[in-house]
Amino acid sequence: MSAPCASAQRKAHSVLPTAVGPVRRWSTGGADTAFYRWQAAPRSSKAKPALKTCFIANPRSGHTAPRLPELTRHVRNLGAELRLTEHPGHARALAAAAVQDGCATVVAVGGDGTVNEVAGALAGTGATLGILPAGSGNGLARHLGVHGSWPRALDILAAGHTRPLDAGRADGHPFFAVAGLGFEALLAERFNRARRRGLAAYALIVLRSLRAGQPLPVRIHAAGKTWNLPVLTLAVANASQYGGGARIAPRARTDDGRLDLCALPPLRPGNTLNLTWRLLTGQIERAPGVLCLQGAEFLVERPGKGPLQTDGEVHPAGAAVRFTVTPEALRVLCPPERNRR
């Protein structure tokens, strides 16, 4: 177990933790959730009141459970709160409650699904999103430069640099990294049912699912134009990648008020390796048969109802799915060099 991040302790909120309070019970939707609160005392009687910070952790995310003791120590040293999720959708409720409790910053500890729920609850509230990546892919965190060791991520949180973050919507569901139809929705559905987590488990699911990746005929409407084509998968991205370095939309920015659509052609013996290589090297737009578009709104039609994935979470959706974006829906903590992009 690594030592607490020294610089994060020095900079956080100008308060010193005092005593660990008792575990309390907090209830939402009928499900009790333990959360831990550490009291923090000002350095002097003239110090300004601390801005409250809450960490919301998904113990089921790829790397969270074994590091909960380390996370607990970090949160205690920051004089913050830690709340643990217990079921899908719980992070959203916990984040909304944290804002009601006066938290100025809410940190999502988990993968893109946890970040999605927390960010969705913070949008439009004025609260700032922080990310402590602990998922299998961490697509949004990687795009923002918030990846690597937890001490580094905690340094980024403590530094306090923020940038605007757009919010996408797919069939009414918020997303902040990538949403999509077709093969990627199938993969998300199977991965969410899997017992094993992590990139290796995801890669194995991809290999086992290739035969199920049937062509999906779609009609895309954007900016007064229409495209008809069969696809393996269709992604609409706010960030540049799914996670794990798979960059589906290399030109995407999370603060430009636009979405990036990328439609991959059906697999055949001659294009599978090329598509995979270009996806992992950020050159997917150069692959033959790939359609890439940018815009603030897309309408995608398919033959019938089917699954839709938003940041790895799967929802039932109709034959027509509309994708829209809300510019600068909230602010997110990130490295200062990313502020200049």
Give the domain CATH number at 208: 2.60.200.40
Q: Is 311 helix (H, G, I), strand (E, B) or coil?
A: coil
Q: Is residue 82 part of a domain?
A: yes
Residue 1 counted as domain residue: no
Same domain, 283 and 139: no
Give buried/exposed letters for 167-178 (b at 16+ CB in 10 A, else e): bbbbbebbbbbb
The alpha carbons of the chain give a radius of gyration, in whole angstroms, of 20
Dump strand ranges (E) for 60-102.
81-84
Distance between CA atoms of residues 322 and 261, nearest Å: 12
| Shared domain check, 117 and 24 | yes
**Active-site option among 297, 313, 328, 337:** 313
84-114 as b/e, with b when 16 or more CB fall inside 10 Å? bbbeeebbbbbbbbbbeeebebbbbbbbbbb
Quote the CA–CA distance of 246 and 178 in Å, as a whole number: 11
Q: What is the pLDDT at residue 49?
A: 45
Q: Are residues 317 and 334 in the same domain?
A: no
What is the pLDDT at residue 195?
A: 67
Name the domain count of the chain: 2
Residue 268 structural domain: 173-327
**C-alpha distances in Å from residue 101, one per residue of 47, 97, 137, 162, 248:** 21, 6, 31, 22, 38
Give the β-pairing of 128-133 and 162-170.
unpaired
Quote the pLDDT of residue 135. Answer: 82
Task: Assess whether 145 and 26 both reside in one domain.
Answer: yes
Determine the 3-state secondary structure of 250 from DSSP. coil
> What is the pLDDT at residue 7?
42
Closest to 299 in 3D by CA, of 322, 326, 324: 322
Q: Is 313 a catalytic residue?
A: yes
CB 33 within 8 A of CB 54: no
Sign of the dihedral through C-alpha 156, 157, 159, 162? positive
Tokens of 147: 């990846």
Tokens 């302790």 locate to: 9
Per-residue pLDDT of the chain (341 residues; tens, 9 = 90+): 444 444 444 444 332 232 233 333 333 333 333 343 433 333 444 444 446 999 999 887 767 878 888 899 989 988 899 999 999 899 999 999 999 999 999 999 998 999 999 999 999 999 999 999 988 789 999 999 998 788 899 999 999 999 999 999 999 999 999 999 998 898 887 866 666 666 666 666 666 677 766 889 999 999 999 999 999 999 999 999 997 788 999 999 999 999 999 999 998 878 888 988 998 899 999 999 999 999 999 999 999 999 999 998 999 999 999 999 999 999 999 998 644 44
The sign of the dihedral angle between the CA atoms of 254, 259, 265, 270 is negative
Residue 100 belongs to some domain of the structure? yes
